[in-house]
Structure 1
Amino acid sequence: MSDFKQDSQDLLKYLGGKENISAVSHCATRMRFVLVDSTKANQEMIEKIPAVKGIFTQAGQFQVIIGNKVSDFYNAFIGISGIEGVSKDQAKIAAKQNQSFLQRLVGTLAEVFAPIIPAIVVGGLLLGFRNILEGIQFSALNNQTIVQVSQFWNGVNSFLWLICEAIFHFLPVGITWSIAKKMGTTQILGIVLGITLVSPQLLNAYAVATTAAKDIPFWDFGFFKIDMIGYQAQVIPAMLAGFMLCYLEKFFRKIIPESISMIFVPLFSLVPTVLAAHVILGPVGWKIGSAVSTFVSFGLASSVNWLFGALFGFLYAPLVITGLHHMLLALDLQMIADFGGTNFWPMVALSNIAQGSAVLAIIFLHRGNKEEEQVSVPAMISCYLGVTEPAMFGINLKYLYSFVAAMIGSGIAGMISTLFGVTANSVGVGGLPAILSIKPQYWLQYGICMLIAIVVPFLLTVIFRKQNILNKIDRVSN
C-alpha cells in the first residue's frame, strides 16, 4: 500500500481535492469516481501519475485505470483521502446525478444484460461446436458428418443441446430475473414470470409459424380466449413484462401495510403481469422485435449492405466509448430468435481484433518502452480475447492515430463481412476466438475478414505515425 502513497496524494490533488469527490469505488482494474464537478479534474496531470494506465468518463463516473493492483491503490487512496468508499452499485446510483436520460437508459440496459452474458457466450461456443459435429460433411468420412459415423459424438451433440436450449430458448427467464435484480425487487418473482413465458404447456414460439390458427391452444374464459403461445428466445416481450412486474411491486409495497405485504404484494404484482404478458405485452413485444430484426435484416441484404457494414464496423468502437453498444445485444438476440443467426456479432468481434492490432503496432513502434508495455501488452492480449476497454482507453485513445487506424480496419473488415453474408450462430467470445461462433460455411470468408482486421490497422498505425497523420503527441521527425 505504501508504494502508492505519493500517487494517491497526487490523484486526490488533481481530482480537485476531497470536496470534489462524492463517491469512490473500484472494480477489477479501475478506480471509479463520482465527481461533484468533473471540470476540476486535471486529466493531463492525472495521466502522468506513474500508477495510472489511462482515464475515461463513462456512465457519469470518472474512471482511472490502475491495473491488477487496483485494490492496493484503492486502500492507499482511502487511507490518504479519508473518504469512505462505497460499493459499485452505490457509486452507480450516485453517478446518475451526472447522467442524461439516454445515459441512464443505456446504463439500465447494460446492467440488465451484463449478468446473462456469460451464459450467452457459453451457449454460442457450444452451438458452434455442435455445428462442427452435425453441420460439416468431411471428405475423410465419405462426405458424412461426425454424428453420422460416431455414436459417441452423436450422444455428445444431443447432450450439449440440453445446455444450449436452456440458455437460448429459456432466455426470458434470465432477462426477467436480471431486471428484478437490477430494480431491487423480488428476484424469485422475476424467475417465476420468466417461466410463465416459456412453460412447456405453451405452444413453442418456434412452432407458431407452422401451426394453423385453429390448432393453437388457448385458455377459454367463456366470454374471451387467450392464445397459449410461448415466447422462447424473445427479448422484448420479456423486458416489457419484467419492468411491469418490478414497477407494480414497488407501487404495491408503498400502499400495502407491511404486516400483510408478504402475501398481497407478490399476488397483486405477479398475476396482473402474467395476464398482461400474454394478452398485451407479449404479442406487442414480439411484433416490435420482429419488425426491428426484419428491417435490419432487409438492410443487410440490400444493394447498399456494403455501406452499412462499413459504417457499423467503423463506428462500433466509438459506440463502446459511449456505452451504446450494450443496446446491440438485444438486437443480436432478436435476430438469432427470428433468423437463426446474427450478422452483427461477427463485425463486433472484428472491431475487437482491429483495436488489438493497432495496439500491436504501438508495441512494435515503441519497442523497448518497458513502462508502456506494462499496459500495452496485456491490453493487446485482452483485445484479441474480446475485451477492448484497456486497449482503447489505455493506449489507442491516448495516441488517437492508432484508434482511427483500428476504426478504418474494422470498417473495411465489416464491409467485407457483410458482402460475404457472414453469420454467427450466436453471440460468443469476442476477438480471435469468435470464429467458433461463426457458422462453419462462413469460416473461410470470416478468416479473410480477420486477416484484414489484423493487417490493415497494424499497417495504418505505422503509416500514420511515420507520416505524423492525426499524431499530436507521438510525432516523428521527417
Structure 2
Amino acid sequence: MEKSENRLIAEQIVEAIGGEENIESIAHCATRLRLMVSDREKVNQERVESIDKVKGAFYNSGQYQVILGTGTVNRIYEEMTSLGLEGKTKSEQAKGAAKSGNAFQRAIRSFGDVFVPIIPALVATGLFMGLRGLVMQEKLLALFGLTPGDISDHFILFTQVLTDTAFIFLPALVAWSTFRVFGGSPIIGLILGLMLVSPALPNAWDVAAGKAEAIRFLGFIPVVGYQGSVLPAFIAGILGAKLERVIRKRVPEALDLILTPFLTLLVMIVFALLVIGPILHSLEEVIMNATVSILQWPFGISGLLIGFFQQIIVITGVHHIFNLLEIQLLERFGNNPFNAIITCAIAAQGGAALAVGLKTKSKNLKALALPSSLSAFLGITEPAIFGVNLRYMKPFVMGLIGGGAGGFLASLFGLKATGMAITAIPGTLLYLNGQLPLYLLVNLVSIAVAFALTWMFGFSDAVLDKKRSAKE
C-alpha cells in the first residue's frame, strides 16, 4: 500500500532529527511541531528545512520546533505518533523543558503557560463586546427604524452577562490555571480564586467608585474583593500550589483528603486577603498607570516603538508579558489599544513575506513564502518570520519598519479593540463599533510599506545564489 504524503513527511522529519531513538517526546501547538531531542548534534538542520511543507525549524524553550502551519501540523503529528513516538500535550512537554534557559526565560515561560489557557474565554468576551457595539450603533439601528432607547433592558442585561462574567471571575480563572501549572490541585486554585471575589467582600469596583468602603482589618489593612485583578490571584496561586504540595507530604495519607485542602485554603485566603492582595493591588495600579502613560505618549510615538519592536519580542519568547497588560486594560477600560498596534506588526511581516513570494523565481521559496504570508494575515506569523523573513534577514527588518508605520497610525487614530488575542483579518471582529475603516487602513499601510521596502531593497534572488555558493 502506497504511503500518504504526510506519512512520508513524518518519516523524513524523524530521520533528519536523528531517528526515533533521538526523540524523547513530541507535542504540537497551532503551527509548530515541538520535539524534545536527546542529542542536538544528531539533528540535520538543513535536511529538516528542505523537507516538503516544513517552513522553518529552530530551538526555543528547550524544544526543537518545526514550523508546519495550521492544520498541517495536526496531520503530521498524528502520523508521527502512529510511528510509535510518545505524544504529549504542550503543557506536559513544557514541564520537561522547564529547567532550560535562564531564570528570566523560565519565569516568562511559566507566565505564558498560566495565561494562554485563559485567553479563549477572553477572546469570546471580546467578540461579545464587539457584537454589542455593532448592534448598539445608531446608524445600524436606524436601518430598522430604532434608536438606542428602544433596546430592551432585558437585552442589555443579557449582553452584560456575556461581556462581564469572565472579568468578574478573572481571579478564579488565574488561580485555577496557576495551580495547574505549578503542580497544585486546580480545583483548590479555583475555590481560592472564587474566595477572592466572594460577594461577602466589598466589591472592588464599588470601592473604587466610592459606592462602598473597604473593610479595615486591624484598623489599617484594607480588605476588598479582587474583581478583575490578576497579580494577587497569580501570586496566591503560585504560593498556594507550593503550600499544598508541602502539606500533602507531611499529613498521613488517611487524612490527606480532609486536611490538605482545608489547611491550604485556610492559610492562603488569610494570606491573600491581608498581605498579598493589598500589596500587589497597589503594584498593579503602578503597572497600569505606567502602561496607560506610555500608550498616551504624543505624536504616535508609543505605536511606532511597539509596532517596530513587537515581533522582535516575539522571537525572544517573552511576548506573553503583553497578556497581563491587555487583560488589565480590558478589565479597567473595556478596550485594548495594544491589539491594533500588534496587528500592524503581524500584518507587516505578512507583507514582507508576500513580496518575497511574488518576486522570487524559486518555486520552492514561492511555495513557502506565499502560504506563509496568508498565515500572517490570519494572525500567525511564525511561518513567515522563521520560514522566510528571518532566513534572509532584510525582509524581516522591512517588516519591522512596516509594523512601526502602521503602529504609528494606530496610535494617532486612537484605535482600541474590544478584546484580545485575535489579530489581522480575524481581528476585524474587535472593531465593529465604528472603528473598522481605520483598522483596515492601518493594516493596509503596514502591509504596503513592508511589501514596497522588501520588493525594492529587501530581497532578490541573488541572495539565494549567495547562500548556495556559501554551502558549496
TM-score (norm 1): 0.85
* Matched residue SS, 1:172: helix
For 1:48 and 1:139, the matched residues in 2 are separated by 52
- Counterpart contact for 2:58–2:66, Cα < 8 Å: yes
Aligned positions of 1:51-450 closer than 5 A: 51-67=53-69, 68-70=71-73, 73-74=76-77, 84-134=86-136, 136-138=137-139, 141=142, 146-151=147-152, 155-211=154-210, 215-216=212-213, 218=215, 227-303=222-298, 306-366=300-360, 369=363, 375-438=368-431, 440=433, 442-450=435-443
CA deviation profile, 1:323-363 (whole Å, cap 9, x unmatched): 21111110111223334433212211222222222233233
> Aligned letter for 1:171?
L
Q: Displacement, 1:188?
A: 1.4
Question: What's the CA shift string for 1:51-84, capped at 9, x where partnerless?
Answer: 423212221111112454546645665677x754
Q: Which moved more, 1:50-59 or 1:21-30?
A: 21-30
Q: Which one is further off, 454-463 or 331-340?
A: 331-340
1-side partners of 2:124 and 2:75: how far apart? 32
Displacement of 1:253: 1.1
Closer/same/farther in 2, CA of residues 145 and 199 from structure 1, 3 Å limit: farther
| Matches of 1:357 and 1:199, distance apart in 2 | 48
Q: Residue type matched to 1:279 in 2?
A: L
| Alpha-carbon distance between aligned partners in 2 of 1:355 and 1:366, rounded to the nearest angstrom | 17
Unaligned runs of 5+ in 2: 468-472
**CA displacement at 1:261 relative to structure 2:** 0.9
Decide whether aligned partners of structure 1 residues 77 and 66 sit closer, same or farther in structure 2, where only a CA change above 3 A counts. Answer: same
Query: Offset of 1:121 from its aligned partner?
Result: 0.8
Q: Displacement, 1:444? A: 4.6
Contact kept? 1:204, 1:231, Cα under 8 Å: yes
Partners of 2:51 and 2:387 in 1: CA distance: 13
Q: What secondary structure does 1:98 align onto?
A: coil
Q: 1:111 to 1:345 in 2, by over 3 A?
A: same
Residues 155 and 400 of structure 1: is their aligned pair in 2 closer, same or farther, counting only changes over 3 Å? farther
Letter in 2 for 1:288: L
CA gap 1:79/1:324 in 2 versus in 1, 3 angstroms: same
What are the superposed Cα offsets for residues 172-221 of structure 1, whole Å, 9 maximum, x if unpaired? 11111111222232121111111112222322222222327xx515387x
1:375-411 deviations in Å (ceiling 9; x for gaps) = 4454333322322223322333233332222211111
The amino acid across from 1:383 in the alignment is A
Q: Distance in 2 between matches of 1:85 and 1:446?
A: 40
Q: Shift in Å at residue 313 of structure 1?
A: 0.7
Q: Which moved more, 1:281-290 or 1:438-447?
A: 438-447
CA distance, structure 1, for counterparts of residue 146 and residue 60 of structure 2: 48
Distance of 2:316 and 2:440 partners within structure 1? 29
Contact 1:402 1:461 in 2 (8 A): yes
1:472 aligns with 2:469: no
Assess if the C-alpha contact under 8 Å between 2:27 and 2:89 holds in 1.
Answer: yes
How far apart are the structure 2 equivalents of 1:47 and 1:239? Answer: 39
Q: Distance in 1 between matches of 2:426 and 2:4?
A: 40
* Number of the residue aligned with 1:49: 51
Distance (Å, rounded) in 1 between the aligned partners of 2:421 and 2:28 = 27
Measured in 2, the distance between the counterparts of 1:124 and 1:90 equals 29
The number of equivalent residue pairs is: 464
What secondary structure does 1:34 align onto?
strand
Q: CA deviation at 1:85?
A: 4.6
In the alignment, which of 446, 453, 460 is matched to residue 453 of structure 2? Answer: 460
8 Å contact 1:346–1:438 — kept in the other structure? no
Quickly say closer, same or farther: Cα 1:155–1:401, change in 2 above 3 A.
farther
Distance 1:140 1:47, change over 3 A: closer
Distance 1:125 1:391 in 2: 27
Opposite residue 390 of structure 2, the aligned amino acid is L
Alpha-carbon distance, 1:428 to partner: 4.9
**RCO higher in 1 or 2 (8 Å CA, sep ≥ 6)?**
2
Runs (5+) with no aligned partner, structure 1: none
> In percent, how many aligned pairs have the same letter?
32
**Is contact 2:398-2:458 (8 Å) kept?**
no
Shift of 1:47: 0.9
What does the per-residue CA deviation read over 1:387-443, in whole Å, with 9 as the maximum and x for residues that have no partner? 222332233323333222221111111122223332233325211232432484654
CA contact (8 A) 2:306 2:404 kept: yes
AA in 2 matched with 1:128: G
SS at match of 2:227: coil
- Is the 2:130–2:429 contact (alpha carbons within 8 Å) kept by the matching residues of 1? yes
Amino acid at match of 2:128: L
RMSD: 3.3
In 2, Cα distance between equivalents of 1:256 and 1:287: 36
Higher mean Cα deviation, 236-245 or 32-41?
Answer: 32-41
How far apart, in 1, do the equivalents of 2:269 and 2:320 lie? 27
Taking structure 2 as the reference length, the TM-score comes to 0.86
Give the superposition deviation at 1:10. 4.9
